[in-house]
């Protein structure tokens, strides 16, 4: 009985950490277009192993993949921006990437609060 309580406390701690990482990603997205998302990315990599075997593990993986796909689309937008013809296309790519990342963060928050694993 005592061991179950410790596991529940550990799971709650892991869940709270994932929640704060989502919050940090969201703040970074709003205030710096995601420039500072590398900080929660590193923490997700470091703490993902602690969450192995729980639904929280999938949230760390979700955040990591969201970061790298967002980075890919931002870089693609930069490449389009460099070409004079691609400036409107770059803004479209950046806008869509921002909205997509916002969607991923909101979905992650909702599923984390519902104790649901993310699709990986």
Domain total for the chain? 1
Q: Is residue 99 part of a domain?
A: yes
34 torsion bin: left (phi>0), alpha (psi -120 to 50), beta (else):
left
Establish if 118 belongs to a structural domain. Answer: no
Q: Measuring CA to CA, which residue among 2, 77, 3 is closest to residue 33?
A: 77
Tokens of 54: 């729980």
pLDDT tens over the chain, length 120 residues = 444 444 589 999 999 999 999 999 999 999 999 999 999 999 999 999 999 999 999 999 999 999 999 999 999 999 999 987 788 999 999 999 999 999 999 999 999 999 999 997
Per-residue pLDDT, 86: 82
**Is position 60 within any domain?**
yes
pTM for the full predicted model: 0.89
The CB density around residue 9, as the number of other CB atoms within 10 Å, is: 10
- The reply to whether 120 falls in a domain is no
pLDDT at 5: 46
Q: What is the DSSP letter of 83?
A: S
pLDDT score at 120 = 75
Residue 1 confidence (pLDDT) = 47
Residue 14 lies in a domain: yes
pLDDT at position 37: 95
Read off the tokens for 117: 């694993």
Domain of residue 24: give its range: 2-113
Token duo for residue 34: 């995601």
**Other CB atoms within 10 A of residue 115 CB:** 11
Q: Which two three-digit tokens encode residue 112? A: 């984390």
Note whether residue 15 is domain-resident: yes
Domain assignment present for 39: yes
């Amino acid at each position: 009985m005592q061991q179950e309580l410790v596991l529940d406390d550990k799971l709650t701690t892991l869940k709270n950490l994932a929640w704060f990482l989502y919050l940090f990603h969201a703040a970074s997205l709003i205030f710096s277009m995601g420039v500072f998302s590398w900080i929660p990315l590193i923490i997700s990599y470091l703490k993902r192993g602690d969450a192995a075997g729980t639904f929280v593990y999938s949230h760390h993986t979700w955040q990591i993949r969201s970061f790298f796909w967002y980075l890919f689309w931002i870089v693609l937008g930069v490449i389009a921006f460099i070409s004079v013809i691609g400036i409107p296309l770059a803004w479209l790519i950046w806008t869509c990437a921002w909205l997509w990342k916002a969607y991923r963060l909101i979905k992650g928050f909702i599923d984390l609060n519902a104790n649901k694993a993310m699709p990986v």
